[in-house]
A and B are shown apart, each in its own frame.
Chain A
Amino acid sequence: MGSLERIYDQFKDRAEFFMVYIREAHPTDGWQVPQNERQGVLVKDPKTLDERNKVAAQACSMLKIKLPCLVDGMDDAVNRSYGAWPDRIYVVDKDGKIAVMGAQGPAGFPPSVSAARSWLEQNLGAARGN
């Protein structure tokens, strides 16, 4: 998340950033993974929008995410239309077209952050106050 936050700090005046909270990747009642168990990140898959909002708020504050957090509806409509699960980065250009489409999943995340940064630098100019 670190390098993403740096990009956010650099470009937040010239681009909008949103974290979109979607269906849990590794809930305790789903595909639980040892890494989360060790770190005490134990979350049940929210079954109602109210629960989902609470987990989203918890996630965004625990992970110290500076980006504004949006929450996908219980129909997972946005997640599905973007093929987003478990995580994915997109950059949408000023005309509403997809400019950068990151790969799905944690392995795709770091290269996607780099791709997003390159695109922002090329299209908005080099970062200021860097």
Chain B
Amino acid sequence: MKHTLPLLATLAFAATLALAQQPPRPNPQQKAGKRPGDQRAQTNLRVGDTAPDFKLKTKDGDRDVQLASFRGKKPVVLVFGSYT
């Protein structure tokens, strides 16, 4: 009986260790990503980071637009989306 307490303490310690070693819980967005058709991707971007440069064509294909070309000139508002 005198061993019960240390044994409990050891078990509790082991349980804490096991919990600490568990991988981080998936956030809700990653969970949602498991839904078929959900193609949400995480980004490591944060406010204050340099916006990744890109060069894309307009929908008519008549003009290339490069984000970096506005640097030092104007702010740029980007609205990402699709039809559906």
**Residues of A bordering B, CB below 8 Å:** 4, 7-8, 11, 14-27, 30-31, 33, 36, 41, 43, 53, 55-60, 62-63, 67-73, 77-101, 104-105, 116, 120, 123-124
Question: Contact at A55–B83, with CB atoms within 8 Å?
Answer: yes
Closest to B38 in A: A31
Tell whether, in the assembled complex, residue B82 and residue A24 are in contact, meaning their CB atoms are under 8 Å apart: yes
- Give the contacts of B27-69 with A (CB-CB under 8 A): 29, 35-43, 45-54, 56-61, 65, 67-68
Q: How far is the CA of A63 from the CA of B81 in the complex (A)?
A: 12
The B contact surface, by secondary structure, is loop
B56 touches A116 (CB 8 A): no
A-B contact count (CB 8 A): 188
4 A-B pairs with the lowest CB-CB distances in the bound complex, closest first: A31-B37, A83-B43, A84-B80, A59-B83
Query: What's the tally of chain B residues with a CB closer than 8 Å to chain A?
Result: 44
* A19/B81 in contact, CB under 8 A: yes
Could you tell me the distance between the alpha carbons of A60 and B81 in the complex, rounded to whole angstroms? 10
Residue of A nearest to B63 (CB): A68
A14-B74, A89-B77, A91-B75 known; A96 and B68 CB under 8 Å? yes
Bound CA span A122–B24, Å: 38
Q: Indicate if B76 sits at the interface (CB-CB under 8 A).
A: yes
Report chain A residues within 8 Å CB of B47: 98-101
A56 touching B54, Cβ below 8 Å: no
A23 partner residues in chain B, CB cutoff 8 A: 39, 82
Q: Which residues of B lie under 8 Å from residue A81 when comparing CB positions?
A: 43, 45, 52, 54
Contact A92 B75 (CB under 8 A): yes
